[in-house]
Amino acid sequence: MKNVNVGFHFSPGPCSRQLRTAGFRFQEELCASLATIAAQWAPALLFLVLALFAGASEPLAAQVSSSYRVNPQESKIEIHFFKGGFLGVLGDNHLIALTQFSGRANLTRTDGWTADLSGDAASLKVIDPWGNPSERKEVQDIMLGPQQIDVGRFPSIELHSLSFDPVDHDKIWHLVANVKLHGVTRKAQFSLDCHEIGDKLQIQGKKRFKLTDFNIQPFSAAFGAVKVKNDFLVTYNVILDRIP
């Protein structure tokens, strides 16, 4: 048997032409209406977008305007000493925590920006994760003793700002301050990574110093074969509470 193709064919009548014409007219009217609405609302939408962008891009420094107090329970200030010398492999790096400190930051637009921090030198504590308690105590006694920090004569560690201002669009603040250790004051520059968390302000960063800048001679033993390097690193994660 031969294949037979069966199909249906509709001839366009007057009704189909009218429907097609009405559809074209509806599309034209709809497009015209949408264009009118877009023209009317475009300036308002543009203003809204610009306003949202401006609000999102406001620098943190422009949002912060208050006085803050250091929260020592939530903050951490640590000092890293590094081994050196010909036989330095026999020595250890040391991790020291400043356990008692206080401070304030005034970030009001009317009074300008200032920051002050004071620590108890005798509260420096060796927190090496290695060794035993007697070894850590020995290191701590040497560090606090008259040949090193000499906390009996120089009981405080202090920082007082000279200039304090934001330098980055978002969160990097620049601090120039006097740092006092072992009775010696040195000017230092800090780059502070800052975040606002509710009513708290978090400041993080690190800074390298030299012991000899503060008239402290690095500890050494075995005629210098084992010693502490002159450079030391201070790392900090300071939480400040907004003062009502």
pLDDT tens digit sequence for 45-88: 444 433 444 444 445 655 666 899 999 999 999 999 998 654 44
Q: What is the pLDDT of residue 9?
A: 40
Q: Same domain for 18 and 115?
A: no
Confidence grade of residue 112 (pLDDT, cut at 50, 70, 90): confident
Listed range (3-12, 119-128, 142-151, 201-210) with the worst mean pLDDT: 3-12
Pair 198, 233: CB distance under 8 Å: no
Task: Please calculate the CA angle 239-241-244 and round it to the nearest 5 degrees.
Answer: 170
Whether 17 and 99 share a structural domain: no
Q: How many domains, in total, are found in the chain? A: 2
Q: Give the separation between CA 149 and CA 146, rounded to whole angstroms.
A: 7
pLDDT at 83: 84
**Confidence (pLDDT) at 92:** 78
pLDDT tens-digit readout, 159-203:
999 998 766 555 789 999 999 999 999 999 999 999 988 899 999
* Residues 102, 39 within the same domain: no
| The domain boundary residue, chosen from 20, 42, 57 | 57
More confident residue, 34 or 138: 138
Residue 236 lies in a domain: yes
Pairing mode of beta strands 67-70, 101-108 = antiparallel
Asked if residue 155 and residue 111 are part of one domain, the reply reads: yes
Q: Judge whether 1 lies within some domain.
A: no
CATH assignment of the domain containing 81: 2.40.128.110
Mean pLDDT of the 120-149 span: 92
What DSSP letter does each residue of 54-115 carry, written as one string? HHHT--HHHH--SEEEE-TTT-EEEEEEEEESTTGGGS--EEEEE--EEEEEEEETTTEEEE
**Model confidence, pTM:** 0.71
Distance from C-alpha of 33 to C-alpha of 4, rounded to nearest angstrom: 51
pLDDT at res. 2: 41
7 is a domain residue: no
CA distance 40 to 42: 6
Question: pLDDT (tens digit, 9 = 90+) per residue, 7-53?
Answer: 334 344 544 445 444 444 545 554 555 455 445 554 544 444 334 44
Among 57-61, 89-93, 215-219, top mean pLDDT goes to 215-219
Predicted confidence at residue 40, as pLDDT, reads 59
What's the rounded Cα separation, in Å, for the pair 76 and 159? 16
Within a domain: 37: yes
Cα-flanking dihedrals φ and ψ of residue 61, to 5°?
Answer: -60, -30
Q: What are phi and psi of 13, to 5 degrees?
A: -105, -175
pLDDT surpasses 70 at 214: yes
**Residues 113 and 149 both lie in one domain:** yes
Q: Is the same domain home to 100 and 217?
A: yes
Q: Which whole-number Å values give the CA distances from 125 to 99, 138, 182, 220, 231, in the listed order?
A: 7, 11, 16, 20, 19
Range of the domain at 185: 60-242
Instruction: Indicate whether 4 belongs to any domain.
Output: no
